[in-house]
A and B are shown apart, each in its own frame.
Chain A
Amino acid sequence: MTIPAGLKYTKEHEWVRIDGDTATFGITDHAQEALGDIVFVELPEVGRVLTAGEAYAVVESVKAVSDVYAPVGGEVIEVNDLLDGEPENVNSDAYGAGWIARVKITADDSVELMSDDEYNTFLEE
C-alpha cells in the first residue's frame, strides 16, 4: 500500500494535491483496497461549487456504494471522464489515472487534512 509524500489526506481516505489555486481529488490506495474492485464512479458536474466535506462523487465496488467527500471547497473545473468507462483505474492507479475531479479553490475552506506521515499513523491506529 502506498501513501505518496506531497499529498494531503483526510480521515475519510481521500487524497488532495494542491497546486496554487487548483486542487485534484481522489481516493487513497487504502480506500480502493478496502472497497475492492470498483465497477462504477459517479462524477460531479463541471461548474458545481463544493464546500469542504460535501459528498461530490459516488464510488461503487462489488461490495458497497460509498460517497466521496471534498477535502477542500471550490468549483469543479474538470472531471476524470476516463473513469466513466474504465473505473478500474481507481484500483490500479489511485493517485494517478484514478484521480476523480479537479477544483478551483475559491475560499479558505478545508476539512482536517493530514500529511503522508500523519495519514500513515492514522491508518495504523
Chain B
Amino acid sequence: MSISDTTFKYSGTVGMQHEEPVLFEHAHEAPESINLPGVDGDISPELSAFARKTPASIPGLSEPEAVRHFVRLSQWNHGIETGFYPLGSCTMKYNPRVNEQVVRLPGLAHIHPDQPEETTQGVLELMYELQGWLGEISGLPYVTLQPAAGAHGELVGLMMIRAALDARGQQHRRKVLVPDSAHGTNPASATLCGMHTVELKSGADGRIDLEELKRHLDDETAALMMTNPNTAGAFESDIKEICRLVHEAGALVYGDGANLNALVGVARPGDMGIDCLHINVHKTFSTPHGGGGPGGGPVAVNEALAPYLPVPRIEKHGDTYSLVHSCETSVGPVLGAPGQIGVLLRASAYIAAFGRQHLHRIAEDAVLNANYVLNRLKGRYHVPFDGLCKHECLLTDEWQEKHGVKTIDIAKRLIDLGFHPMTVYFPLIVHGAMLIEPTETESRETLDAFCDAMIDIADACEAGDTAMLHDAPLKPFRRRLDETQAARKPVLVWPK
C-alpha cells in the first residue's frame, strides 16, 4: 500500500475547509433580532446598580449560522475520534461509546453534589467501589477521588506527605528530589506545596542513578517524586532499592501515576515501595485529556498516609454510604465537590469492562503496541536507549538532523499524513526527542499506517526533499504556525 492510500484512509485533516471569521465578523443582523428570553418588568432596586449601561455585544446570527461556525471550527481539529493520536505521556486511548451511555443515565447525569445523601446512595456506592478498585490496582489501599486532574493529585499527595512529616515533628524536611526526566508538573507541584526541588541527573541509560540519589538524600529530604516507567518509556529496574534508600533516609516516595498504563493489572506501585500515587483516571481508564473537559486525579496512599486523606470521605456503614466531613488529621477538602464524577464514572465503566480477570490486557497490549512501533522504526530513526520499552517508545531526530530536518519538521509532516504528532522535545534529557505512545486501543493496521508514514518521512529526508519537510504541513487550512511569535507577542483579544 502506498502512503497516499493510507493517508486518505485515516486523515481527518482534509476536506471542505474555508476561512472562518470570528462570530462578530460573521454578524449581519442587529443583536436585538436575537430571540433571547425576555425580562418581565423592571429590574429590582437591589440589582439596579448592576444593570448594563450599554447593550451587550452579541453577534447577530441565526441559529444555523452559529451552529455551522462551531462545527466547522471543530473540523479544523484532530481528535482521538478522527484519527490516531500517539501523544507520548498522554495515553490518548479511545473512549468507548458505552462510557457515554453510562454517564448519561438519568440517575447519574441529573444529580447534584449537595443533594440529601439518601437520594445519592447509588453514586456514592459507585465511588466507594471505584476507590476500592484503584486501591487494589495501585497496591495502595486508601484512596481519595477528589483531585480534579493529575497535577492537582500531585499537590494533594505532597500535602499529605508534608502533613505526615509535620506530625513527626520534621518541619525541616522540605526538599523534594525530582529526576531531570520528570514531568514539568512535578517541580511545579512541589513548589506550590511550599517545598523546594533539587534535580537528579539521570544515568547514561536514562534511569535514576543510585549514586546521584544517595548524594542528595539527607535529613532535609521530604520526598522523591518519580515516574515508573519513566518518561523515556523505561522501567526503573532499581525501584525497590530506590524506595529502600529513600525510606532509610526518613523520606517518602511519591509516584507520578501518569505512566500507570504500562503496569495496570500486572505490577503495583505499592508493592514496589511507593508510598503515594496519583492516578490519571482520564488517561489510564479512558476519556483522554478529560475528553476536552475536566480530568480526574485520584490519589492512593498506604496506611501511614491514610490519616491525612482529604475530606469528605466516603464511608460505608451496613448498607448505607455517607460523606464524612470531619477528621482532625485530614489535609481538608481539596475540591468543591467529592470528585469529577463524569470522569470517575467513565473510569469505572472502563475497569468494569475488563474486569479483574482481564485488566492485565490493558498494560500488555499497550506495551506490545509500543514495542511494535519501536521495532518497525528503529532502523530508520535513532533510538537513544537500547532495549525493550514499556508503554511508549522514544526516538530522536539525530539521523535526520544531518540532512537539516528536525523533530519539529517530522511532527508537522505527520499532520499531512493524517496523524496527530507524537510528543516532541520531551523528555528534556534527550535532544530532539519524539515520544510515541500508541495505547492498547489501536489495531495493528493503524500502527502499520503510522509506521509507514514515519518511514515515508525518513525516505523523503534521505531523498533530499527537505524543503517540503520544512514547509509541512501542506494540507491543513492553517499551515505551519509561527510558535515563536505566538509566544513572544500573543494576540489574545479580537480587535473590534
Contact = CB atoms under 8 A, between A and B. Distances in A.
Interface of A: 34, 37, 39-40, 60, 62-66, 87-88
B399 interface: no
A64 B428 contact: yes
Contacts of A65: 184
11 contacts: A34-B431, A37-B483, A37-B484, A37-B487, A40-B488, A62-B484, A62-B487, A63-B424, A64-B426, A64-B428, A87-B488
B271 to A, nearest CB: 34
A64 B484 contact: no
A37 to B, nearest CB: 4
B10 interface: no
A33 B389 CA distance: 29
A39 B431 contact: no
A72 to B, nearest CB: 21
Most chain-B Cβ atoms within 10 A of its Cβ — which of A40, A63, A65?
A63
Nearest to A91: B484
Given A39-B487, A40-B487, A88-B488, A64 B431 contact: no
A62 B484 CA distance: 6
A44 to B, nearest CB: 17
Contacts of A60: 487
A63 B425 contact: yes
Nearest to B184: A65
Contact of A62 (B184, B428, B431, B483): B483
Contacts of B488: 39-40, 87-88
B425 A39 contact: no
The 8 A-B residue pairs whose C-beta atoms are closest, nearest first, are A39-B487, A37-B484, A63-B425, A62-B483, A39-B488, A64-B428, A62-B484, A62-B487
A66 B426 CA distance: 13
A87 B484 CA distance: 11
A63 B424 CA distance: 8
Given A39-B487, A64-B425, A88-B488, 18 more contacts: A34-B431, A37-B483, A37-B484, A37-B487, A39-B484, A39-B488, A40-B487, A40-B488, A60-B487, A62-B483, A62-B484, A62-B487, A63-B424, A63-B425, A64-B426, A64-B428, A66-B428, A87-B488
A37 B489 CA distance: 13
A40 B488 CA distance: 7
A22 B20 CA distance: 56
Contacts of B431: 34
Interface in B214-240: none
Interface string B137-154: 000000000000000000
A84 to B, nearest CB: 12
Nearest to B483: A62
A88 B487 CA distance: 12
A65 B191 CA distance: 16
A63 B488 CA distance: 13
Interface in B415-456: 424-426, 428, 431
Interface string B462-492: 0000000000000000000001100110000
A62 B424 CA distance: 11
Nearest to A39: B487
Nearest to B488: A39
B204 to A, nearest CB: 13
Contacts of A37: 483-484, 487
A124 B484 CA distance: 29
A106 B448 CA distance: 62
A28 B424 CA distance: 23
A40 B424 CA distance: 20
A37 B481 CA distance: 14
Nearest to B425: A63
Contacts of B487: 37, 39-40, 60, 62
A37 B406 CA distance: 14
A110 B428 CA distance: 26
A86 B184 CA distance: 25
Nearest to A35: B425
Contacts of B428: 64, 66
A63 B184 CA distance: 12
Nearest to B484: A37
Nearest to A67: B199
Contacts of B425: 63-64
A94 B227 CA distance: 35
A60 B424 CA distance: 16
A65 B426 CA distance: 11
A60 B483 CA distance: 13
B494 to A, nearest CB: 22
A40 B428 CA distance: 18
A29 to B, nearest CB: 15
A15 B483 CA distance: 28
A63 B411 CA distance: 13
A28 B235 CA distance: 34
Contacts of A40: 487-488
Contacts of A62: 483-484, 487
Nearest to A60: B487
Contacts of B483: 37, 62
Interface string B164-208: 000000000000000000001000000000000000000000000
A107 to B, nearest CB: 23
